[in-house]
């Protein structure tokens, strides 16, 4: 019997009260550290010890028992950080307290009071202290609760220990411990030359001003170096940076013996990168281990991976050959060999197994939308560890085991235990279909050739789709670097927005155009100096193609939705392809790349001084006069990523050009709307399409 029960919007949208009930039942915080495996599942913390004959349960604790130990501040979302070298010991942050606990035996070992404004905690078990950030300074906090100043400038625009380059180039934090725990490296970033930008908080009757440093394309940028603090002497040195003050630093790591520091130095134009070696006692430059040049841009993102027991060797990831690939180097800077030679991206290195002398990695060489788990030895011999057409994520364990988390368009989520040869040992978990019993809109995923490139697409039809009838179509687009929408995940990676619109009677269409992620360097670099240009060509061709193929599409009722880069794309299509798109919703859109930050924008567009034509072509205020359909702009007023000024400037130009643009603001949210209010946002988007499309 046909089931007409729809998935509720509260179950489709993150933040909705029923959202978790409609997601696959997954292991949470699955990790392997210090010889143990831990994860949350079914309101239980599971801890296993791998042994020669498989996994053995060491401990299992309910959320209630953990809250009895830690108090009501403990939640299942509380992150457990393994303490290196101590079996079953983790540290966690609970409101105004740091706790080190033996989670296997439910015993608190240390607890330290902290202040709510402290952040960026980074623990080292050998030093037995945390690095943390407060205001613009970097401090240490020992397990007795004593604080020590590492570095703080009197100039508030100079920060210590904070992430550099606005989190670009793989920079996820700004502190780095040496292996022996005796030294702490940290970014020192001078933003005094960077323009202050105002964000206004209206939570109180008298609005307050919060200034952030925001380096716009072509403007003065931050100047970063690295300090190295010696815990024994209480002194620090700074490295002898080799490039210009505004060159970027990333990929920071100590050598295994803690005597040297490695850092990648990238020129501001991002066309030249050097991996340099520095002495940790003096900060002096010693030598360049390797250099990479690209006439468009090179983008180092991965810290060198040292191999335990092979201290003179490290793995460096690079796209110099067209795809992200691991290369084996020695400490003299000589390339030992290219480890893989695959027609696809190595998307993640899971780690090195000393047991089999192999590096385990994930790649999309067999299917650009999939993630295949593989292993390679030091001679370059590759072993297949998973199937080729699903999405697989590996977690390495001792004794030559690994865990594989798998999902596919028809597999919600499962976890299996394997030997490193690939042999299956046991299935630990398999999630049921969380949408069983509901009328799920049918999803089609495939590839098509447009503009000389194979592009992945996804099409979702309304639940009650009838041949011969005409339906409106909404396109869900992003199109920028670092994002891939079409994936061999559960339900083909479909977003809640897409199901929501399909249930409302719309076809929903998505493609990954040139410039999007995980298709190789050449595919991405098509957008160089013309960000948005190739994407719009591909989107137009794709919509023409799907309309020709699908007779059920009403060509007079086609809309587009996207956020951030997708907001830029949605706005561009309404202004530049108004013959195809009648309605658009653009959230957090970049409308003028001169208003976006240096690191991202200059990688793809160079500076406005070098590429005036490119910036002018994608300054959307120049095209508002061409608007024919309905356009809704949405922005968050405290957005520190895509500044509110972007959409406000476009709105101002619309008034000048006598064009009507609809507008909505979500107050107090940063770059996107999270939590329960996201449901409100999605209802607004749906309502707009239903009203005008």
Are the beta carbons of 74 and 65 closer than 8 angstroms?
A: no
For the purposes of burial, counting CB atoms within 10 Å of the CB of 453, is it exposed (0-12), middle (13-18) or buried (19 or more)?
Answer: middle
- Residue 178 catalytic? no
- Tally DSSP H helices, then E strands, for the chain: 10, 43
d(CA 379, CA 129): 40
Q: Are 665 and 651 in contact (CB under 8 A)?
A: no
Output phi, psi for 594, to 5 deg.
-70, -20
Q: Is 101 helix (H, G, I), strand (E, B) or coil?
A: strand
CB 125 within 8 A of CB 143: no
3-state class (DSSP) for residue 75: coil
What ranges in 91-157 are assigned the alpha helix state H? Answer: none
Residue 291 pairs with which residues in a beta bridge? 274
Distance CA 263, CA 274 (A): 8
Fill in the DSSP letter of residue 232.
T
**From 134, 453, 482, 671, active-site residue:** 671
Which of the following is catalytic: 221, 408, 564, 572?
564
Q: Which residues pair with 430 in a beta bridge?
A: 414
Yes or no: say if 497 and 476 are a contact pair by the CB < 8 Å rule. yes
How far from chain centre, in Å, is Cα 284? 34
State the DSSP string of 285-349: EEEEEEEEE-SS--------EEETTEEEEEEEEE-TTSS-EEEEEETTS-EEEE----SS-EEEE
Reduced to 3 states (helix: H, G, I; strand: E, B; else coil), residue 2 is: coil
Catalytic residue among 390, 512, 639, 669: 639
Token code pair at residue 296: 């468009």
Residue 342 and residue 363 in contact, taking contact as beta carbons nearer than 8 Å: yes
Question: What is the distance between the alpha carbons of residues 30 and 28, in angstroms, rounded to a whole number?
Answer: 5
Q: Residue 18 catalytic? A: no
Are 104 and 58 in contact by the 8 Å Cβ rule? The answer is yes
DSSP assignment of 562-595, as one string?
EETHHHHHHHHHHHH-TTT--EEEEES----GGG
**Cα–Cα distance, 143 to 54 (Å, whole number):** 35
Query: Does the active-site annotation cover 418?
Result: no
Q: What is the DSSP string of 248-266?
A: EEEEEEE-TTSSEEEEEEE
Q: What share of the chain is helix, strand, coil (3-state, %, to 5)?
A: 15, 40, 45
Q: How far is CA 243 from the centre of its chain?
A: 28
How far apart are the C-alpha atoms of 96 and 118, rounded to whole Å?
9
Q: Tell how strand 260-266 and strand 272-279 pair up.
A: antiparallel
**C-alpha distances in angstroms, 283 versus 187, 236, 258, 291, 626?**
13, 9, 13, 20, 57
Considering only CA atoms, which of 472, 656, 498 is closest in space to residue 566? Answer: 498
Q: Where does 167-247 show beta strands of DSSP type E?
A: 175-177, 183-190, 196-201, 208-213, 223-230, 235-238
Pair 177, 261: CB distance under 8 Å: no
**Integer Cα distance of 562 and 573 in angstroms:** 11
Active site residue ranges: 564, 639, 671
């Amino acid at each position: 019997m046909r089931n007409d029960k729809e998935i509720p919007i509260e179950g489709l949208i993150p933040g909705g009260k029923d959202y978790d009930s409609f997601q696959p039942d997954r292991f949470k915080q699955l990790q392997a550290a210090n010889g143990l495996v831990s994860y949350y599942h079914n309101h239980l913390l599971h801890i296993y010890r791998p042994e020669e004959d498989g996994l053995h349960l060491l401990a299992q604790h309910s959320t209630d028992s953990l809250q009895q130990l830690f108090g009501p501040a403990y939640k299942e979302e509380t992150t457990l950080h393994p303490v290196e070298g101590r079996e079953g010991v983790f540290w966690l942050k609970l409101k105004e307290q740091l706790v080190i606990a033996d989670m296997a035996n439910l015993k608190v070992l240390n607890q330290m009071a902290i202040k709510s404004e402290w952040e960026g905690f980074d623990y080292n078990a050998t030093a037995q202290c945390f690095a943390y950030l407060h205001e613009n300074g970097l401090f240490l906090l020992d397990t007795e609760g004593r604080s020590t100043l590492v570095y703080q400038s009197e100039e508030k625009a100079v920060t210590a220990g904070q992430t550099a380059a606005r989190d670009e180039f793989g920079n996820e934090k700004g502190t780095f411990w040496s292996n022996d725990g005796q030294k702490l490296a940290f970014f020192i970033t001078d933003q005094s030359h960077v323009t202050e930008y105002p964000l206004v908080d209206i939570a109180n009757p008298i609005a307050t001003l919060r200034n952030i440093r925001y380096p716009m394309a072509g403007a003065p940028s931050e100047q970063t170096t690295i300090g190295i603090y010696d815990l024994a002497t209480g002194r620090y040195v700074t490295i002898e940076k080799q490039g210009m003050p505004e060159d970027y630093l990333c990929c920071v790591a100590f050598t295994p013996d803690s005597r040297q520091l490695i850092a990648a130095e990238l020129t501001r134009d991002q066309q030249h990168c050097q991996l340099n070696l520095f002495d940790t006692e003096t900060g002096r430059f010693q030598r360049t281990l390797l250099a990479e040049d690209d006439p468009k841009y090179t983008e180092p993102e991965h810290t060198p991976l040292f191999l335990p027991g092979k201290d003179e060797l490290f793995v460096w990831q690079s796209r110099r050959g067209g795809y992200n690939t691991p290369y084996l180097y020695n400490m003299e800077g000589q390339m030992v060999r290219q480890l893989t030679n695959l027609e696809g991206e190595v998307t993640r290195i899971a780690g090195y197994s000393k047991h089999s002398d192999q590096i385990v990695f994930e790649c999309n060489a067999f299917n650009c939308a999939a993630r295949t788990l593989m292993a390679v030895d030091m001679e370059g011999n590759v072993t297949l560890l998973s199937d080729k057409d699903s999405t697989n994520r590996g977690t390495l364990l001792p004794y030559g085991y690994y865990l594989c988390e798998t999902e596919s368009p028809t597999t919600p989520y499962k976890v299996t235990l394997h030997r490193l040869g690939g042999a299956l040992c046991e299935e630990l978990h398999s999630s049921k279909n969380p949408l069983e019993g509901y009328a799920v809109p049918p999803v089609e995923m495939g590839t098509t050739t447009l503009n000389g490139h194979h592009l992945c697409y996804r099409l979702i039809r309304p639940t009650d789709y009838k041949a011969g009838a005409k339906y409106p179509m909404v396109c869900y687009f992003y199109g920028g670097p670092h994002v891939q929408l079409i994936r061999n995940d559960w339900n083909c990676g479909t977003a809640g927005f897409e199901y929501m619109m399909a249930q409302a009677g719309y076809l929903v269409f998505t493609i990954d155009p040139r410039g999007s992620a995980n298709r190789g360097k050449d595919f991405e670099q098509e957008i160089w100096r013309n960000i948005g240009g190739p994407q719009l060509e591909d989107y137009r061709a794709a919509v023409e193609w799907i309309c020709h193929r699908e007779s059920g599409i009403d060509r007079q009722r086609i809309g587009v939705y996207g956020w951030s880069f997708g907001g830029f794309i949605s706005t561009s299509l309404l202004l530049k392809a108004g013959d195809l798109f009648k309605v658009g919703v653009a959230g957090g859109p970049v409308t003028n790349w001169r208003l976006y930050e240096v690191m991202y924008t200059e990688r793809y567009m160079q500076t406005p001084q070098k590429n005036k034509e490119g910036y002018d072509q994608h300054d959307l205020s120049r095209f508002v006069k061409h608007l024919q359909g309905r356009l809704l702009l949405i922005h968050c007023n405290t957005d520190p990523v895509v500044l509110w000024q972007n959409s406000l400037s476009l709105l101002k130009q619309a008034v000048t050009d006598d064009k009507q643009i609809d507008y909505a603001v979500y107050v107090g949210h940063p770059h996107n709307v999270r939590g329960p209010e996201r449901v409100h946002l999605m209802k607004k988007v749906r309502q707009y399409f239903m009203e005008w499309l």
